[in-house]
Amino acid sequence: MISKKEKLKFIILRTLGNFFILVSLYGMAATFGPAFYFEVIYRSNRLRNITYLVAYPTPILAPGAPTPIFVPEPTPVGKSTLFGGLTGGNKVEALSPISSQFGIIIPKIGANAPIIPNVDAGKPDIYLPALQKGVAHAAGTVFPGVAGNIFLFAHSTDSFWNVGRYNAVFYLIKELEKGDEIDLFFNGVRHIYKVTEKKVVDPSEVGYLTEVLPYEQLTLQTCWPPGTTLKRLLVIARPERDL
């Protein structure tokens, strides 16, 4: 017969075990949940034949507002599919930049976020607050329209459980291929880039951040594989006019 002391010990151990299981499940959800969410949305949109385009800017002169206001043009109709018709898809959605002062839109993956300028990529206490607001522009790199490397990142390297929290905006850049469009908006001007290369590098390889280029280049960086900080995925693009 089990004594009261043994019963109490069993209850305590079971409670502790359940607690650690719940903590582990929460940690997994916090780390991989955002990535899973964006993956599901992306795959669902592809199945439903939903695509995105950038709303072309039409300047509207408003009193005291020198920056143009972006007005979407009529949205074209996408190619129809049976599944898309059954699920409310078969459409092209227009994306207007969240920030025309400094923002990014990636039509293929439906990404639309503001960019925080001049963020120190080597100091978590500086870049983590910035990443809570949007994508970070690495301090020391150039801005759109200037020769050199425009370096943007949206990842956390301080701890693995923060990867999903800060990596969400750029999680799907793994889907980008050569020729895909990336749009930057800077001081009210739209800059169009086309992907030229995608590669995986070690975290210690920082040459791509510090290199000086005689031409304009856009580099997007995120953690790789998704949900880890083991490697870095780089997507490199050049201005459409240069290709």
Per residue in 29-75, pLDDT (tens digit) is 445 556 666 667 776 777 777 788 888 554 444 455 555 545 454 44
Percent of the chain past pLDDT 70, that is, above it, reads: 63
Q: Does residue 138 sit in the same domain as residue 156?
A: yes
Cβ atoms of 182 and 104 within 8 Å: the answer is: yes
Q: Are strands 231-239 and 189-201 parallel, antiparallel or unpaired?
A: antiparallel
Given 96, 119, 136, which residue is the final one in a domain?
96
Q: Do 41 and 118 belong together in one domain?
A: yes
Q: Which of 65-79, 108-122, 210-224 has the lowest mean pLDDT?
A: 65-79
The CATH number of whichever domain residue 128 belongs to comes to: 2.40.260.10
Q: Give yes or no: residues 90 and 164 share one domain.
A: no
CA distance 170 to 35: 10
pLDDT tens for 127-144 read 888 888 889 999 999 999
Do 11 and 30 share a domain, yes or no?
yes
Residues 49, 78 contacting (CB under 8 angstroms): yes
Same domain, 15 and 58: no
Q: Dihedral sign for Cα 166, 170, 172, 174, please.
A: negative
Residues 91 and 196 in one domain: no
What pLDDT does 77 receive?
Answer: 46
Q: HSE on the CB side for 74, CA within 13 Å?
A: 2
Last residue of a domain, one of 61, 96, 131: 96
Same domain, 56 and 157: no
Say whether both 35 and 66 belong to one domain. Answer: no
Chain centroid, CA 142 distance in Å: 20
**Whether residues 137 and 232 fall in one domain:** yes
The two tokens of residue 24 are 């582990």
pLDDT score, position 214: 95
pLDDT in tens, 95-113: 899 999 999 999 999 999 9
Task: Name beta bridge partners: 54.
Answer: 95
- For every residue of the chain, DSSP letters joined together read ---HHHHHHHHHHHHHHHHHHHHHHHHHHHHHHHHHHHHHHHHHHHHTTEEEEEPPP----BTTB-SPPP-PPPPPPPPP-HHHHHTT--EEEEE--S-SSEEEEEGGGTEEEEEEEEE-TT-HHHHHHHHTTSEEEETTS--TTSSEEEEEE----S-GGGHHHHSTTTGGGGG--TT-EEEEEETTEEEEEEEEEEEEE-TT--HHHH---SSEEEEEEEEESTT--SEEEEEEEEEGGG-
Residue 150 sits in the same domain as residue 56: no
pTM beyond cutoff 0.85: no
Q: How many domains is the chain partitioned into structurally?
A: 2
Radius of gyration for the chain, computed over Cα atoms and rounded to the nearest angstrom: 22
Cα dihedral 39/41/43/49 (nearest 10) = -160
Together in a domain, 165 and 216: yes
Among candidate residues 64, 96, 128, the one where a domain is terminated: 96
Do 86 and 203 reside in the same domain of the chain?
A: no
Tally of residues, the chain: 243
Q: What is the domain extent for residue 195?
A: 4-46+97-242
